[in-house]
A and B are shown apart, each in its own frame.
Chain A
Amino acid sequence: DIQMTQSPSPLSASIGDRVTITCRASQSISTYLNWYQQKAGKAPNLLIYGASYLQSGAPSRFSGSGSGTDFTLTISSLQPEDFATYFCQQSYSFPYTFGQGTKLEIQ
């Protein structure tokens, strides 16, 4: 199975900050990497697919990059509604696996 490891966790930041979350795969997954945002008590929501493509409806302050084994999710300027937990996921091969999550907290 492909292991997905996120860092940091948790992450403390302030409104307006630029933040980056990293996700590393245990083997190459090309760009089969997706990012999800989950707010408390809600289902996850797709943010980024294919490593760098912004899902329709997601704010443009979110961006993704990377290929192979190393990926990043960047929020250019944190807004109050961005404080949530973020998960990466590989869809390269079954079993599809998720990172452990990064909880973004208000500093």
Chain B
Amino acid sequence: QVQLVESGGGVVQPGKSLRLSCVAPGLTLSNYALHWVRQAPGKGLEWVSFISYDGSTKYCADSVKGRFSISRDNTENTLYLQMDSLRPEDTAIYYCVRDSTPGFHPWGQGTLVTVSS
């Protein structure tokens, strides 16, 4: 069964940076477009960012535009989310998800990011 595994979450002060990673043991990520989706504690799902299979096309939500950057290294089979100028409202579980067009499947287990002083 395909699995995505996120890492890099933790507690960080407002204004600081964090980089999340996502790998998929046994799956060649370079064949797929990928997304980051987040979920604040007790809240709903918010789509964050998209990257095409080759990294040539990227989109991100207005709430993170100019602060977050999605990238991928297909030689390392890894997806990244660089998060700068973090705010308390960025506190959430961040999920890495494969674009299985037209749905999102599978999802990783998520990594928790807490922005707090």
Contact = CB atoms under 8 A, between A and B. Distances in A.
A87 interface: yes
B105 interface: yes
A89 interface: yes
Nearest to A94: B59
Interface string B15-52: 00000000000000000000100000000111100100
Interface stretch (A13-21, A38-46, A67-75, A76-84): A38-46
Given A43-B95, A43-B109, A45-B107, A91 B45 contact: no
Q: How large is the interface on B (under 10, 10 to 19, 20 to 34, 35 or more residues)?
A: 20 to 34
B44 A98 contact: yes
A55 B104 CA distance: 11
Interface residues of A, number: 21
Nearest to B95: A43
Interface in A3-51: 32, 34, 36, 43-46, 49-50
A45 B109 CA distance: 11
A44 B44 contact: no
Contacts of A91: 101-104
A34 B95 CA distance: 17
A96 B101 CA distance: 12
Contacts, number: 59
Nearest to A44: B107
Interface of B: 35, 44-47, 50, 59, 61-62, 95, 100-110
B10 to A, nearest CB: 19
Contacts of A96: 35, 47, 50
A60 B4 CA distance: 26
A98 B62 CA distance: 15
Nearest to A87: B45
B100 A46 contact: yes
Contact of A94 (B45, B50, B106): B50
B52 to A, nearest CB: 12
